[in-house]
Chain A
Amino acid sequence: GQNIDQPTEMTATEGAIVQINCTYQTSGFNGLFWYQQHAGEAPTFLSYNVLDGLEEKGRFSSFLSRSKGYSYLLLKELQMKDSASYLCAVRLAGTALIFGKGTTLSVSS
């Protein structure tokens, strides 16, 4: 079966930096995606990695190590609005994504 693990919950304060880890063991790999989801809403795309290394997009960065089956999402200069669930997802064959259970991030002032 497919296995994607990430922490269930994390807390941080405004202005801080937080790193959300994701490990995966899947039957295939065509890229790793990070999505943000606010309660009751659909996920929104944050970042994508298919090659090893760091991808930076403003306050968000994502890292991938395919040999270790490991990724992380780095959020800088945290804001209250960043409180949400962060979903790690792996693309197998085709274009479907398999999601981890998500990490609920709570940002406090």
Chain B
Amino acid sequence: GAVVSQHPSRVICKSGTSVKIECRSLDFQATTMFWYRQFPKQSLMLMATSNEGSKATYEQGVEKDKFLINHASLTLSTLTVTSAHPEDSSFYICSASPLSLDSPLHFGNGTRLTVT
């Protein structure tokens, strides 16, 4: 079945530094990938839609200059959290699906980001 790989699974960084998270679709091509964020005991909130070869689409309230998204190929999207602050500590999850409306979104294993 479709598999999405996300790396790293866990990262601790200091305030002010940047962190890059990679998301790969392993056995299908994904022109679109999605980045979600989940705070403890809350649901997944869509942050942005990553589009291969074009700019990402950000949801309202998500700072595009802080959360940089690059979708350089049909199998790779990256999310860079720039100048991280403790309030950015969260669980970040990427997802993608094969090009079919009845295909479910498949999720990566998520990245637990802790900013100290």
Contact = CB atoms under 8 A, between A and B. Distances in A.
Given A45-B104, A96-B49, A87 B109 contact: no
Nearest to B106: A45
Query: Chain A, interface size: which category?
Result: 20 to 34
B54 to A, nearest CB: 14
Given A94-B49, A96-B46, A100-B43, A42 B102 contact: no
Nearest to B60: A1
Interface in B100-116: 101-110, 112
Interface of B: 6, 32, 34, 36, 42-46, 49, 91, 93, 95, 97, 101-110, 112
Interface of A: 30-31, 33, 40-45, 48, 50, 87, 91, 94-102
